């Protein structure tokens, strides 16, 4: 029974890796491992895939001690001992997450996430690696979708957590939490349990422990699968839209000056070509252009995009918008100049 279950989940993860090209021959990964069921299962399965040479790659393990829970040191020792036993290079760092949260006036969740990703990046550079593996699962993906919609993120938010985004990969993204827990049980793995996951003081915990179980009981026992299918559909549609956006951008871009070594960085678009597009394309062209300049469109909200589209539609010269202190959109002589202010 144990052997069958192990192979089932392992094959599922391997299929996910192959389907999304998450790990390729020669890759060097940093695995973010807390010691909980998800991350220790990811570590255990990737170790077996490596040992069986189904993919030729290498990895190290990185663990962050958040210094919040009394058991945090035990979590660190648990992951360290697994790595020693299996001859895996292990990196750890203790970070006072609560202190950082208080100083920066952000949530403990955000502070912890920032600390983890920053440390993973440090380790990645140290080992000259190229990818970071995070143990998000299908349930995490659905929880994120619900959180995004509660925040008003629109269709984009329904993508949830993607299997791969830049250097971050998620080998367990097609596995449900119950499958992961069963894998641990059948393979005699005793993961560390974070008791804060059961405290309904965080939005995600409320969705995980209250909202989803209520929906499963009262409306749809297969809500995780249903939402996952919706996410995959949105991702497919988004991929098509982005393909069209790139074509439009190529046709209407007049000048690009995006060399980071230059004092002035900007992109100029033809306003006539821009105004001829459907609104959904306009919105995505704006986001695409801003991302080219800043490597992100974070902080650009729906209201900003609406204002930019309206400004371009009016096409009145010498008018500009500044959605934030670093971004300026200027209209002049039938052109849209989107510039990075320094």
CATH, residue 269: 3.30.465.60
CA dist 159 and 155 (Å) reads 7
Domain CATH for 21 = 3.40.50.620
- Regarding whether 126 and 36 lie in a shared domain, the answer is yes
- Regarding whether 274 and 157 lie in a shared domain, the answer is no
Label residue 298 by pLDDT band (50, 70, 90). Answer: confident
The secondary structure of 76-94 as a DSSP string is HHHHHHHHHHTT--EEEEE
Label residue 202 by pLDDT band (50, 70, 90). Answer: confident
Query: What total of structural domains would you count in the chain?
Result: 2
Q: What is the pLDDT of residues 80-106, one digit of tens each?
A: 999 999 999 999 999 999 899 899 888
24 within a domain of the structure (yes/no): yes
CB-based contact 190:183 (threshold 8 Å)? no
- Regarding whether 183 and 81 lie in a shared domain, the answer is yes
- Regarding whether 186 and 64 lie in a shared domain, the answer is yes
Supply the pTM of this predicted model.
0.84
232 within a domain of the structure (yes/no): no
CA dist 35 and 72 (Å) reads 10
* Confidence at residue 247, expressed as pLDDT on a 0 to 100 scale: 98
**Domain termination site, one of 221, 247, 276:** 221
85 within a domain of the structure (yes/no): yes
**Domain termination site, one of 186, 221, 256:** 221
Domain that holds residue 271: 238-340
Whether the per-residue pLDDT at 263 is higher than 80: the answer is no
Label residue 2 by pLDDT band (50, 70, 90). Answer: very low
């Amino acid at each position: 029974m144990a052997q069958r279950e192990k192979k089932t989940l392992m094959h599922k993860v391997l299929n996910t890796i192959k389907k999304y090209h998450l790990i390729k021959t020669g890759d060097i990964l940093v695995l973010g491992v807390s010691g909980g069921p998800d991350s220790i299962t990811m570590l255990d399965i990737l170790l077996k895939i490596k040992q069986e040479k189904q993919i030729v790659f290498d990895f190290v393990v990185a663990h962050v001690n958040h210094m919040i829970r009394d058991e945090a040191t035990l979590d660190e020792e648990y992951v360290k001992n697994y790595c020693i036993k299996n001859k895996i290079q292990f990196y750890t760092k203790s970070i006072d997450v609560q202190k950082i949260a208080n100083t920066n006036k952000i949530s403990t969740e955000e502070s912890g996430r920032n600390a983890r990703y920053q440390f993973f990046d440090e380790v990645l550079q140290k080992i000259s690696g190229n990818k970071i593996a995070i143990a998000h699962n299908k349930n995490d993906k659905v929880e994120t979708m619900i959180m995004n919609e509660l925040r008003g993120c629109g269709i984009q938010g329904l993508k949830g957590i993607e299997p791969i985004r830049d250097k971050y990969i998620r080998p367990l993204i097609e596995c449900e939490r119950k499958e992961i827990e069963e894998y641990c049980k059948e393979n005699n793995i005793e993961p560390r349990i974070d008791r804060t996951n059961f405290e309904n003081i965080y939005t995600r915990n409320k969705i995980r422990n209250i909202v989803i179980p209520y929906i499963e009981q009262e409306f749809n026992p297969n809500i995780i699968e249903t939402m996952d299918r919706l996410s995959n559909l949105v991702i497919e549609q988004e991929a098509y839209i982005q393909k069209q956006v790139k074509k439009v951008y190529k046709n209407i871009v007049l000048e690009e000056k995006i060399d980071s070594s230059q004092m002035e960085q900007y992109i100029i678009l033809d306003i006539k070509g821009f105004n001829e597009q459907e609104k959904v394309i306009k919105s995505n062209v704006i986001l695409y252009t801003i991302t080219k300049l800043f490597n992100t469109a974070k902080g650009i909200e729906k209201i900003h995009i609406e204002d930019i589209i309206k400004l371009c539609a009016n096409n009145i010269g010498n008018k500009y918008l500044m959605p934030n202190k670093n971004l300026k959109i200027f209209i002049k002589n039938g052109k849209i100049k989107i510039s990075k202010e320094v």
